[in-house]
Amino acid sequence: MTVLGLSCFYHDAAAALVRDGEIVAAAQEERFSRRKHDPSFPRGAVEYCLQEAGLTDASQLDAVAFYDKPLLTFERLLETYLAYAPRGLKSFLEAMPLWLKRKLWTPDVLRTELGGYDGPMVFSEHHRSHAASAFFPSPFERAAVLTTDGVGEWATTSWGVGDGSGLDLKAEIHFPHSLGLLYSAFTTFCGFRVNSGEYKLMGLAPYGEPRYVDAIREHLIDLKPDGSYRLHADAFTFPVGLRMTGRRFEALFGGPARAPEGPLTQREMDLARSVQAVVEEAVLRMGRHVHAETGEANLCLAGGVALNCVANGRLLREGPFERIWVQPAAGDAGGALGAALVATHEWAGLGRTVHEADAMRGAHLGPAWAPEEIRAVLDAEGLPYDEAPTEAALVDRTAALLAEGATVGWFQGRAEFGPRALGHRSILADPRDRATQRRVNLQIKFRESFRPFAPSVLAERAGEFFDLGGEGSGSPSPDSPYMLLVGPVRDARVDGEGLERLGRVESAVPAVTHVDGSARVQTVTKARNGLYYDLLRAFEARTGCPVLVNTSFNVRGEPIVHAPADAVRVFRRTHMDALAIGPFVVTREALPEAERRPFTAEQIAEAYGLD
């Protein structure tokens, strides 16, 4: 039973292939097209998934599954526009041509894009796709399921119970009442882009104070004790407008929205902290309610709000569930996988195998490149390189570079599925140097200096450095394989206010300690992470530190690198010190003098609007 799952036409298009219930491949289209959050039909991802499964074309599939029901979404749009008429006429006129020409004919479009595929097609509701992506790959035979995002068809939040190969969704909250859209409204009001700037807002929050929590609770959202909520819809313009917020927001929060790339003020920091606090409280209340209703010990999460790793960490530490598992591709990309699993287990009725860790294979579900393919790229680029004779030699060489303070691009094995780099398409550095955080942000990532970095840590030593819910520094740490839980850094100290906190972080690993003394942790095991685990062990042997800075291998505004040529391009145009790509190591010192420093700090700041 081979099923291809698809998500597209909104944002973060993706494809996933499931065979007999096992996940064979999954990838986002942005990695192939190099267009961040690409919403178009995922041609590159589909071609890869078919190739990984040994199929020549879509005719060999048993079914194709789509992650939502377009007609239900169209119904919501029409009812919403009618309810708000004559407001929203401009938005209506812009939206309708695309619907009438393409989205209403999604089944025909998909069949055409798949080369005339004429087999079965399964359309899963959006939140069912999210729920399936959370429960079916999880390590639980039974679990409660909670999904929260912006909107899918009508639903914005849903909860239910997964049992074996069944999934029973019991309750929903409907548009325009949306926790995800509330967070996105503040994202755009603070000058960041919706669907990509939410991470920035979460990273900015610890610099502020929760001064606006009461105003948000009084004027924007009615949050009930059971976690249900209603937005005060007249405070927002997103139901029918081309913007998320309007004059009501400006009146509530002291003036117009911050201009994109404009100066960050204390107001934006306080707004970020305040809406983050409200969302965390909502997630905690929802979690407690779902636990009370289901009695389940374990919880699975998906939907865009499940990428809010600060809220996830609080739910694990303060909530009632023993274990929490979050789908690593929790946003719309993961809907492709969820749809394929819905078709497999519910439409086709195949049984489910529960894996002790989970069924995601460490989220390493994307393409890999053979050494000869990488060598051809390096030769074509004229790059000098050394070839490690063994994996052990590669690990030892890279660990030595990191221990000497080098920043290393690490391109190994199959690419990750989801928004996080997990040790296959990563930029790595020593976490013990406080200056690493600013240097990597400004000279390699070309992004704002306030953005935090995440640590990768040997799972067996995670509890010594981070508190994800264990009882003490000597107790086992909860598993956090996908960098989706935030917890306190042990013995961290931070003082000061606002952005001045950035230079006042004290901990054993300051480069991965955020200004509230927390970190977004990835726990690394040999079984799940293979070569990356070996690298952490080698770094630990040299330094005594089992932690590395791990950030995604890309620069600002671009997707994570996909092919070897992408990695080489990023290496050449940044201040990265070395590139470990397959068995080959390239160092900046070995480059011609003219290529060693591609940009000055002033040029970077001017090009990207950085301070």
Q: pLDDT value at position 609?
A: 62
Q: What is the token pair recorded at 600?
A: 């000055």
Q: pLDDT value at position 610?
A: 60
User: Contact 82/240 with Cβ under 8 angstroms?
Assistant: no
382-390 — which CB contacts under 8 Å span 24+ positions? 383/568, 383/586, 383/591, 384/586, 384/590, 384/591, 385/584, 385/585, 385/586, 385/590, 386/584, 386/585, 387/583, 387/584, 387/585, 388/583, 388/584, 388/585, 389/583
Instruction: Check whether residue 259 and residue 279 sit in a common domain.
Output: yes
- Residue from 464, 608, 436 nearest 546 by CA: 464
Instruction: Check whether residue 468 and residue 500 sit in a common domain.
Output: yes
- The reply to whether 510 falls in a domain is yes
Instruction: Check whether residue 226 and residue 300 sit in a common domain.
Output: yes
CATH for 351: 3.30.420.40
Q: pLDDT value at position 82?
A: 82
- The reply to whether 254 falls in a domain is yes
| Length, in residues, of the chain | 611
Residue type, 212: Y
Q: What is the token pair recorded at 98?
A: 């695309």
User: What is the edge-to-edge ordering of all strands in the sheet holding 142-152?
Assistant: 166-174, 155-163, 142-152, 298-302, 323-326
Residue type, 47: E
- Residue from 429, 416, 476 nearest 456 by CA: 429
Q: pLDDT value at position 601?
A: 63
Q: pLDDT value at position 74?
A: 87
Q: pLDDT value at position 473?
A: 46
User: Contact 545/413 with Cβ under 8 angstroms?
Assistant: no
CATH for 472: 3.90.870.20
- The reply to whether 164 falls in a domain is no
- What are the two backbone dihedrals, phi and then psi, of residue 349, each rounded to the nearest 5 degrees? 75, 20
- The reply to whether 106 falls in a domain is yes
* Catalytic sites, residue numbers: 11
Residues of the chain under the 70 pLDDT cut? 242, 470-477, 600-602, 604-611
Instruction: Check whether residue 425 and residue 479 sit in a common domain.
Output: yes
- The reply to whether 524 falls in a domain is yes
- Residue from 578, 470, 445 nearest 523 by CA: 470
Q: Is 255 helix (H, G, I), strand (E, B) or coil?
A: coil
Q: Is 242 helix (H, G, I), strand (E, B) or coil?
A: coil
User: Contact 16/26 with Cβ under 8 angstroms?
Assistant: yes
Instruction: Check whether residue 270 and residue 407 sit in a common domain.
Output: no
Q: pLDDT value at position 169?
A: 97
Instruction: Check whether residue 106 and residue 46 sit in a common domain.
Output: yes
Instruction: Check whether residue 338 and residue 387 sit in a common domain.
Output: no
Tally of structural domains, the chain: 3
**How far is it, in rounded angstroms, from Cα 29 to Cα 163?**
32
Instruction: Check whether residue 532 and residue 490 sit in a common domain.
Output: yes
Q: What is the token pair recorded at 468?
A: 């994800």
Q: pLDDT value at position 472?
A: 47
Domain endpoint, select from 313, 337, 359: 359
Give the list of residues 6+ apart from residue 357 with CB closer than 8 angstroms, or none.
Answer: 139, 479, 481, 527, 528
Total-model pTM: 0.94
Residue type, 600: T
- What are the two backbone dihedrals, phi and then psi, of residue 203, each rounded to the nearest 5 degrees? -70, -30
Alpha helix stretches (DSSP H) within 85-239: 89-101, 106-113, 126-135, 179-189, 198-204, 213-219
* Residue that the structure tokens 């900046």 belong to: 588
Q: Which domain holds residue 191?
A: 174-324
Instruction: Check whether residue 231 and residue 314 sit in a common domain.
Output: yes
Instruction: Check whether residue 96 and residue 200 sit in a common domain.
Output: no
- Residue from 280, 263, 367 nearest 315 by CA: 280
Q: What is the token pair recorded at 97?
A: 């041509």
Q: Is 95 helix (H, G, I), strand (E, B) or coil?
A: helix
Instruction: Check whether residue 289 and residue 301 sit in a common domain.
Output: yes
Instruction: Check whether residue 223 and residue 254 sit in a common domain.
Output: yes
- The reply to whether 573 falls in a domain is yes
- The reply to whether 151 falls in a domain is no
- The reply to whether 163 falls in a domain is no
